[in-house]
Amino acid sequence: MRWRVIPVRSDRPRVYRRRRPWRALVITLICLVLAAVIAYVALFFGLKKHIVYTDDGLYLDVPWIAEEMEELRKAKSAA
């Protein structure tokens, strides 16, 4: 039995290259969109009790922001 010599094709690269580079990009984009949706839902349900509906629309009434605004107003009036 004789060994057959298989010729190496010179037009192919000898270094492995990923066949689908777009796949990593798509997976990254899907992960970013999923993280943004999860963050949005978490913020919505976390701040739900601070949303105030009025005739003019809705706004966010967060107590710690109101306290900071009062401190700034007092600091401005004292200066």
- Summarised one tens digit per residue, pLDDT across range 28-79 is 999 999 999 999 999 889 888 888 888 888 888 877 777 777 787 788 787 6
SS3 51: strand
SS3 76: helix
DSSP structure string for 9-40: PTTS-SS---S-HHHHHHHHHHHHHHHHHHHH
Q: What is the pLDDT of residue 78?
A: 76
- Check residue 48 and report its DSSP letter: G
Q: What is the pTM (predicted TM-score) of this model?
A: 0.50
Q: Under 8 Å CB-to-CB from 24, ≥6 apart: which residues? A: 18
- The C-alpha angle with vertex 45 and arms to 44 and 50, in degrees rounded to 5, equals 75
pLDDT at 13 > cutoff 70: no
